Chains A and B, each alone.
Chain A
């Protein structure tokens, strides 16, 4: 069975600083990988996804993520964080046709001005 680990429960960064959120997955075959963002009181919004091909994936809101098979990682990055990026971020892995997602426990991002 697949699983996802997000080792950082809470991260605080200053506005304008760079950001990297860590995600490690466990899955026996090539995974489908996703990053979702959840603002308070809201549902989940897809930031980006990796299915195959280029291991560096561009998403919305200036986010990108890099798939590293050797490290079983799919870390999310942003070069310059904005105060509006404060939210909870979830990494997810999908098996097979990606029709079933397994989520990590999330990383809460706080942005200081």
Chain B
């Protein structure tokens, strides 16, 4: 079974530029998550989708971050304009959405803002 796919793996941009990350969840998984992991910290949930609807985006900085999952499968996370403090690993994860189901993580997209 293929895992959660993310791209690009690494990205370096200057502050005030924009960047987009792509995620393809495990086939059939209804729930998709984007987490932000800053160096030395645990992952923090940015947004959770159930199919193509947003379940929780309370910690998403909406003035600069946006995410979509138009067809209920792939998802894109965008940052515009980027700030230095956005340097982090952006982890995509998915689960079947059933109660107590395991959440599977991708390898992450590493962003450095200079």
- In-complex Cβ contact of A44 among B43, B44, B48 (8 A): B43
Query: Quick one: closest A residue to B45, CB to CB?
Result: A100
By the criterion CB–CB under 8 Å, are A97 and B100 in contact? Answer: yes
B111 on interface, CB distance cutoff 8 Å:
no
Q: How large is the interface on B (under 10, 10 to 19, 20 to 34, 35 or more residues)?
A: 20 to 34
Q: Which residues of B contact A92 (CB under 8 A)?
A: 42
By the criterion CB–CB under 8 Å, are B41 and A101 in contact? Answer: no
**How far apart sit A41 and B39, CA to CA, in the bound complex (Å)?**
12
- Count of A residues near B, CB < 8 Å? 23
**How far apart sit A49 and B95, CA to CA, in the bound complex (Å)?**
14
By the criterion CB–CB under 8 Å, are A105 and B40 in contact? Answer: yes
Q: Which residues of A contact B107 (CB under 8 A)?
A: 41-43
Q: Which residues of B contact A44 (CB under 8 A)?
A: 43, 91, 93, 105
Query: Quick one: closest A residue to B6, CB to CB?
Result: A43
Q: Which residues of A contact B48 (CB under 8 A)?
A: 99-100
CB distance from B56 to the nearest CB of A (A): 6
By the criterion CB–CB under 8 Å, are A103 and B43 in contact? Answer: yes
Chain A residues numbered 89-113 whose CB sits less than 8 Å from any CB in chain B: 90, 92, 97-106
Chain A residues numbered 61-113 whose CB sits less than 8 Å from any CB in chain B: 90, 92, 97-106
B31 on interface, CB distance cutoff 8 Å:
yes
B70 on interface, CB distance cutoff 8 Å:
no
By the criterion CB–CB under 8 Å, are A43 and B105 in contact? Answer: yes
**How far apart sit A102 and B58, CA to CA, in the bound complex (Å)?**
14
**How far apart sit A46 and B101, CA to CA, in the bound complex (Å)?**
12
**How far apart sit A51 and B101, CA to CA, in the bound complex (Å)?**
10
**How far apart sit A51 and B83, CA to CA, in the bound complex (Å)?**
39
Known: A99-B31, A103-B43. A43 touches B102 (CB 8 A): no
* 11 pairs, CB–CB < 8 Å, chain A vs chain B: A42-B108, A43-B106, A43-B108, A44-B91, A45-B105, A46-B102, A97-B98, A99-B31, A99-B95, A100-B48, A102-B45
Chain A residues with CB under 8 Å of chain B are: 4, 32, 36, 41-46, 49, 51, 90, 92, 97-106
Q: Would you list the 6 A-B pairs with minimal beta carbon distance, nearest first?
A: A103-B42, A97-B99, A43-B105, A44-B105, A43-B107, A98-B100
